[in-house]
Structure 1
């Protein structure tokens, strides 16, 4: 216990020093290609973002209404150039997040790159503007707005003159004024990374972190696909192929050589289709597959058809003429015969392996170029290895269990699972396009019904059309049935709003649930406060509070309560996690509602305020026009921090600093309760 306490204290101490100062985990630089383009020529402005290890930067090419802050680059208009097309993100990663955002977003790790084409219209050119992005960390749980300005000034006709230099300016650094008469840009900010001059070759930087992450991802995905391949071996369509394989190779004289070729051909045929997908897949295509309603509805229909087929309603088979022609080729023997034998195996087994192989390809399409190939390699290896062994040792057939009722039971259970998985694809389309067909409780009701059916089937209470007459309940069936029943019981509380953290990422987000039981004593449902910005901003969990610091401070003084400041953001993942996992605790929720006045200051909100409320920041010299920019500037100037989440406890009666050291992301509920209670004690003991 002492060791645990020491480690916890060290973590909190480190966290305080980390969170108490401004951090810049992503640094922007830019260059123009080619050097000094001629009038009428189209050049490319290339933005590079160096991202610290353990952090990621949201990209620019996903739905801005999803939640995370989409990277934007705004350009100052002038007559020396014009934009050609839109800002383009170069090969970002893609991730489907149902738990927090309910959709797919794109992001960069290590190094990010954005490109914008511009057409040169005059000899003397000035290209300037500002960038706005957000970087988050899964390790520290912080999110940091990354903002700055850029400027490139050059003469397209100059020869041997000074090359224009790009200037880095982060949110935390003062912005130097750029002289309108100067053809060069001021010095680079000292805390920023060195920046290439315009026209220098843009080196392709690939960080060790990105490479390691990609390798680990591919390595893990290979074994997932390998497991799917072994699962495919249990399907009933595969079993009849075993005697066919043995029969074929008992007539061959090639021995083990042909048997190994047989396995190799199986792998090559599967990988071939994975390669085709990899050729056509890209970041945009992956995003299309994972979020667009057309492919998701198509996958939903396919999985439903396969699931209903597995349950015994009908059989899905390839055209018999086509299969027979391929099978006839395999009778020729030799190398050609072995190839067509492998091809026959893939085709005949398609009705059972298709959904599993398809799942691998669908998952792989959301990754890098090699992922579909690696996925199909793992799947086909698991599929090919045993058939290669059957080809080498035909006598093994005599020791195999006879095909019968157990094979149909496997098929039926897989059918139910296919139906359950089908609704996952429908849920993706539903969340992205806000159809509200599969809200959280509807999705849960379907899964509870499906797994209840699996439980009843395995216990022998219900039967399917092709079941055998054997009603004996084996140990294996009993264990599987009990596991399915336990899963049903686990999901049941979710119908009343339980978080079900074990299913995070599978269920629709909590905000789609219509009915929720109160997480606390009911005090969270206090009288609604008609506060500033409450028409478009809301606090979580039914909490009532404010979204403007001055208004909240006045309310806290009037109520005689301390002030709880929540520096947050719409795109802050760990802000949502703190709300769902920590704030939802009854003790935390009750304390926030009864003992504090809560104010949420969104640091990434893009709402533009009236011009009368604009001001120029003393920190960076920029005009703060939006609600988010002003909240972030307040966080930086008052508390010397620019990361979210950031929780501050203030005594509104005094113009002093926080009553306690501010707290950032910490999923330990007890730590947060102690933090809140200590703030109450200090406030009440103060005069």
Structure 2
């Protein structure tokens, strides 16, 4: 990928506009009957999967994502042989949220069910059910209906009379003006659902309906690199070189403008060197490989060990240096050349000499950006790092008088190194936690992880107060004001985490700590629970109480749903609004409870069967609101009409409060 392409993608990311809510149709299945012999055949389900999405495989553990399953409604003249079998390239990796290994397909998914024909006429009717997710949301359990008929008479089985392999996906994509025919379970339900189930997609659009948000991931990566570069500046390997290098450029020529130009070129060379490093990593590994490494148990153990080694180096146990002959060779080459090449080689020498300080920071940065799965993430991170590292050389060249005000090298730089060592040690536990969850060791449950973090940040605070010494620290026992405030922050953070040992959610560390389900001892009870998990019953109650309704379309396997409930719903103002001003109805679209009787519906001109409670709520979300991804929150009055645009995954608490208050204000109007 060229630099031009990288910058283009970065520019597009910064200008990314929110997408309008719509039915998502990332997976399209086709179904075919394949005769293997006179009395044996197989049903093959082949799906094409949009980029960024994946379809989960079969037989995943309980409590995890939705497994693909083969379901039979009617079977005559045939028997099933074995279970549904995945076929093709499966990806297996650890999901840190579910705390288990999961298997899934990308780009193409295929499942096969073998059939034994017992003779004479046969008929098979049923459906394949599967789950699909991307990094932001998941589809509800989706069914692929099929019907095959024929005669087993010692010849190749007859062609299928009907194969509706992509009915579920076509039903989810099409025009919003649907032809809906709901056959209810009871006459009473028909009376209730006549008004409540009325589609309100156009009314939602009138509110400026849009879900999704501007992606800040690339901006976050850039600023992470920028912060890393600023930290690297204040290390003993870089800071003392700044005045020497700038003075050299200003004194090597009588032309001040040329000296400034050379300093600018030096800074630009640093940017080019580190940007090239980021691009090389991208080209060698690729986005998918980096993302796979980020969740692979073995590589997470290696990342953990790498960060521990870097931390030990920062503590002063040893120095990580590149072979001296490398830097000497580059330095001598720089002296033999002139012009731009000489300046570039000087910048390259700086990169090699400063590796013992910058290496651990760069290593941690690359490990962090690997979790994004973005093809340009390493390049963006290195760009931010290089700009921060190069900026002082150009600024001091423009304003030479600033050199006199530069703090002199001293023990304060070692304090920064040791502080970084503590941080590297803390983050090493994050990667060890991923491996621990993958192998089921249960040696780093949530409370164990938090206990170690509490100790690490408490020790960091003690170090900053001068109570702990490392080999390169001087004997000066005075604690500066900045060190005191840094110690105060570190110790306060350690105290903040203590309630987490008893189950407090600790929103500030929720992205790093193991999932709450690994906590053995949990006293935390401040959770918001829905009053109803049945749409019609909740609507009748809301009408009687004269209250508006918030419908929460969720799923048992929806990770982002749990994040919203933990990070947003527990806010006092949010929980007060949900508990006192709204009737909260939570509908699980992956609820496997069988309906008393299957419900036949006609959607986009095709007939489908709703067999479970989850099917019913998923259909409600599609037909009434024109969406099919979770989490999905929508505010309606007690007649079923929308009060505001819908809300999806966004942990901005104030934005969620505004969403609820706007709906309440419109209801009162």
Fold equivalence (TM over 0.5): yes
**How far does residue 61 in structure 1 lie from its aligned partner after superposition?**
8.4
| 1:203-243 alpha-carbon deviations (Å, 9 max, x no partner) | xxxxxx999956x5334432332222112111222123225
| 1:474-509 alpha-carbon deviations (Å, 9 max, x no partner) | 221121111112111111111111111122211111
Find out whether 1:571 has 2:557 as its counterpart: yes
1:222/1:374 contact within 8 Å kept:
yes
Of 390-399 and 66-75, the range deviating more from structure 2: 66-75
Cross-structure match for 1:526: none
Cross-structure match for 1:680: none
Match of 1:491 among 478, 485, 497: 497
| Structure 1 residues 390 and 324, CA gap change in structure 2 (3 angstroms) | farther
1:362-511 to 2 correspondences below 5 Å = 362-365=367-370, 366-390=372-396, 396-511=402-517
Match of 1:86 among 74, 85, 88: 88
| Structure 1 residues 442 and 343, CA gap change in structure 2 (3 angstroms) | same
| Structure 1 residues 578 and 226, CA gap change in structure 2 (3 angstroms) | closer
| Structure 1 residues 270 and 129, CA gap change in structure 2 (3 angstroms) | farther
Q: What secondary structure is seen at the aligned counterpart in 2 of 1:618?
A: strand
Unaligned residue ranges in structure 1 (runs of 5+): 1-22, 33-43, 51-55, 120-127, 153-163, 175-187, 194-208, 521-539, 550-564, 590-598, 648-657, 673-687
**How far does residue 346 in structure 1 lie from its aligned partner after superposition?**
0.5
| Structure 1 residues 145 and 135, CA gap change in structure 2 (3 angstroms) | farther
Q: Structure 1 length normalisation: TM-score?
A: 0.60
Of 268-277 and 360-369, the range deviating more from structure 2: 360-369
Distance 2:327 2:55 in 1: 47
Cross-structure match for 2:357: 352
Cross-structure match for 1:294: 298
| Structure 1 residues 137 and 322, CA gap change in structure 2 (3 angstroms) | closer
1:135/1:145 contact within 8 Å kept:
no
Match of 2:333 among 321, 329, 336: 329
Distance 1:291 1:230 in 2: 29
Distance 1:166 1:378 in 2: 51
1:237/1:351 contact within 8 Å kept:
yes
| 1:138-169 alpha-carbon deviations (Å, 9 max, x no partner) | 7xx996444445899xxxxxxxxxxx999853
Distance 1:251 1:63 in 2: 71
Match of 1:271 among 252, 255, 275: 275
Find out whether 1:225 has 2:206 as its counterpart: no
| Structure 1 residues 72 and 392, CA gap change in structure 2 (3 angstroms) | farther
Unaligned residue ranges in structure 2 (runs of 5+): 1-20, 31-44, 73-77, 113-125, 149-161, 179-209, 536-550, 576-584, 661-669
Distance 2:260 2:620 in 1: 75
Distance 2:260 2:426 in 1: 42
Larger relative CO (CA 8 A, sep 6+): 1 or 2?
2
Q: What secondary structure is seen at the aligned counterpart in 1 of 2:168?
A: coil
Distance 1:75 1:371 in 2: 42
**How far does residue 633 in structure 1 lie from its aligned partner after superposition?**
3.6
Match of 2:601 among 616, 619, 630: 619
Cross-structure match for 2:241: 241
Q: What secondary structure is seen at the aligned counterpart in 1 of 2:25?
A: strand
**How far does residue 347 in structure 1 lie from its aligned partner after superposition?**
1.0
Of 509-518 and 143-152, the range deviating more from structure 2: 143-152
Q: How many residue pairs were aligned?
A: 517
Cross-structure match for 1:47: 48
1:95/1:106 contact within 8 Å kept:
yes
| Structure 1 residues 481 and 62, CA gap change in structure 2 (3 angstroms) | farther
Match of 1:282 among 263, 282, 286: 286
Distance 1:236 1:379 in 2: 17
Q: What secondary structure is seen at the aligned counterpart in 2 of 1:255?
A: helix
| Structure 1 residues 189 and 148, CA gap change in structure 2 (3 angstroms) | farther
1:277/1:372 contact within 8 Å kept:
yes
**How far does residue 580 in structure 1 lie from its aligned partner after superposition?**
4.2
Q: What secondary structure is seen at the aligned counterpart in 2 of 1:26?
A: coil
**How far does residue 252 in structure 1 lie from its aligned partner after superposition?**
3.3
**How far does residue 606 in structure 1 lie from its aligned partner after superposition?**
7.2
1:73/1:87 contact within 8 Å kept:
no
